[in-house]
Each structure stands twice: as C-alpha cells, then as structure tokens.
Amino acid sequence: MKNTQLINEIDYLSDTYCDGCFVRKQLRKESGKTTAYRFCIEQCTVGESIRQIGSKLKSSK
C-alpha cells in the first residue's frame, strides 16, 4: 500500500470509530487525557488497527 492509502485508512478509522467514542469521552472526564489515550492505544481494537497501519507506514519509509 502507498503511504497516502495508509494515512487515508487511519483517518477513516479515526473519523468513523474514535470521534464520539463514549468510552474515550468517559475516561477523559473521569481520569484525564492520559488514561483515555493509554486505553485507546493499548486496549481498544480500533487503536490496535491504527497502530498496525502506523507500523506499516513507518516501515515503508
């Protein structure tokens, strides 16, 4: 895949699933940004997908 395709896929996932995510919003309210961010990158399945695409993007440089 080309870099632009990978970036577009990350944008799609973020726009579709992350914007308006109730869990992220609730964690930010209760525990702060850092906790919500950690949840997203370590436990969320969408975050895992974004991380995998990001590693493909990183390795293509």
How many domains is the chain built from?
A: 1
Supply the pLDDT for residue 60: 77
Q: Can you give the C-alpha Rg of the chain in angstroms?
A: 13
Range of the domain at 54: 3-59
The pLDDT, as a whole number, for residue 58 is 87
At 61, is the pLDDT very low, low, confident or very high (cuts 50, 70, 90)?
low
Predicted local distance difference test score (pLDDT) of residue 6: 95
Query: Angle at Cα 36 formed by Cα 59 and Cα 52, nearest 5°?
Result: 20
The pTM for the full model equals 0.81
Q: How far is the C-alpha of 1 from the C-alpha of 42, rounded, in Å?
A: 25
